[in-house]
Amino acid sequence: MNPIILVVGLLCLAQPAYAAALQPDAINTAEFSGKIPTEDKLSPLAVKLQVLLDRAHFSPGEIDGRFGENVEKALAAYAEANALPPGKALTPEIWAKLKANSGDPVLAQYTLTAQDLKGPFLAKLPAKMEQMKTLKHLNYTGPKEALSERFHISQELLAELNPGQKFNRAGDAITIVSLPPEAMPTPATRLEVDKERQTVKAFAQDGSLLAFYPASVGSEEKPTPSGALKVDTVDANPNYRYNPKYKFSGVKSKKPFNIKPGPNNPVGAMWIGLSEPGYGIHGTADPSRVSKSDSHGCVRLTNWDVLRLSRMVKKGVEVAFVDDQQAAK
């Protein structure tokens, strides 16, 4: 049975009352009046803005309903791509263009299926890598986490939109972010990893900016390389192999070991290997930390963003590592 998705219209649905500010109607009809939402509060406008940016492939990272730094980075990249005045603020021009390119309601109803609840799931994700090596898979910890990644939304916001919902019964209708089917993307011929801004940009053959992603780039233990590399491999559901020479904090093993595939694997659901051995662009088990914490020398995106990026690249695509000053040129 195929999942059933119904657009949430202007009429309230017969569900428990939401917090007034996060009713689907308030989010779907939110408009920009010139006032920027604050990061410390959930905002209908912020939810709608994040969804519109995500649909445009200028990712705000995890859709969490807050106007944070990753939203500002995405807005700056979107302005650059569309020849709009530069800056990281939401403007009437940006808002109008985002809405014109994606007019459908940003929230929808989704009916849970038996497949959504089937698993297998992890009882708990171990905190240490050594504890992961004995597991047969690094899958999601439950339907709620799986659904949140599928619809690019934080588990906290998913719960806010569905008060009292346990996400454990097939046939239940839940409110989710409405994401249209992915079209075949324009191939990227160059990626730019900004080590200071913590971002990844994908460019077309003609130099136009195709897509943008917030990223966690490098660490003190394993600094990210400089200069130009190339894409070497594109591997879905990779194994992770720990190399003890990197001496990652919290890992005591002096011998290499492998961790099985899964979205909660240390490199997530996708590995885009680079021409420098041991370095790549990959996913993560914790999308809320993307662009807000270090990566172990590599470039970490949300799982859904690295999956999108993987469809745009192939072996030989240039990957330029730049600093803030170089990126501004």
> Which residue would you say has higher pLDDT here, 297 or 129?
129
pTM: 0.90
* C-alpha separations of 242 from 20, 157, 270 in Å: 47, 34, 16
pLDDT for the residue numbered 18? 38
Q: Concatenated DSSP letters for 285-310?
A: S-GGGTTTS--SSSEE--HHHHHHHH
Of the residues 57, 152, 296, 298, only one is catalytic, namely: 298
Structure tokens at 326: 């170089």
| 258 pLDDT more than 60 | yes
Does residue 296 carry a catalytic annotation?
no
| 52 pLDDT more than 80 | yes
Give the span between the Cα atoms of 30 and 152, in whole angstroms. Answer: 20
Structure tokens at 245: 């020479």
Cβ-based burial of 195 (10 A; exposed 0-12, middle 13-18, buried ≥19):
buried
Mean pLDDT confidence for 168-175? 98
Cβ-based burial of 315 (10 A; exposed 0-12, middle 13-18, buried ≥19):
exposed
| 301 pLDDT more than 60 | yes
pLDDT for the residue numbered 15? 39
pLDDT for the residue numbered 252? 83
pLDDT confidence band for 327 (50 / 70 / 90): low
Phi-psi region of 310 (alpha: psi -120 to 50; beta: other; left: phi over 0): alpha
pLDDT for the residue numbered 40? 87
> Which residue would you say has higher pLDDT here, 4 or 288?
288
pLDDT tens digits for 87-104? 889 999 999 999 999 989
Q: What percent of the chain has pLDDT over 90?
A: 78
What is the identity of the amino acid at 200?
A: V
Of the residues 57, 152, 282, 296, only one is catalytic, namely: 282
Count CB atoms within 10 A of the CB of residue 276: 16
Q: What is the dihedral of CA 158, 159, 163, 168, to 10 degrees?
A: 90
CB 276 within 8 A of CB 224: no
- Of 195, 192, 214, 204, nearest to 54 by C-alpha is 214
pLDDT for the residue numbered 328? 46
Does residue 12 carry a catalytic annotation?
no
Give the span between the Cα atoms of 3 and 143, in whole angstroms. Answer: 15
> Which residue would you say has higher pLDDT here, 8 or 276?
276
pLDDT for the residue numbered 9? 41
* Residue labelled with tokens 């993987």: 310
What's the sign of the alpha-carbon dihedral 104, 4, 58, 163? positive
Give the span between the Cα atoms of 25 and 12, in whole angstroms. Answer: 7
Give the lowest-confidence range in 64-73, 125-134, 251-260, 319-328.
319-328
* C-alpha separations of 327 from 55, 82, 147, 228 in Å: 24, 17, 35, 13
Give the span between the Cα atoms of 119 and 115, in whole angstroms. Answer: 8
Domains, the chain? 1-181 (1.10.101.10), 190-327 (2.40.440.10)
Mean pLDDT confidence for 130-157? 97
pLDDT for the residue numbered 220? 63
pLDDT for the residue numbered 296? 60
CB 280 within 8 A of CB 229: no
Compute the mean pLDDT over every residue in the chain, rounded to the nearest whole number: 90
Mean pLDDT confidence for 224-238? 95
pLDDT tens digits for 153-171? 999 999 999 999 999 999 9
| 250 pLDDT more than 90 | no
pLDDT for the residue numbered 221? 64
- 220: enclosing H helix or E strand: none
* C-alpha separations of 115 from 144, 167, 304 in Å: 13, 12, 20
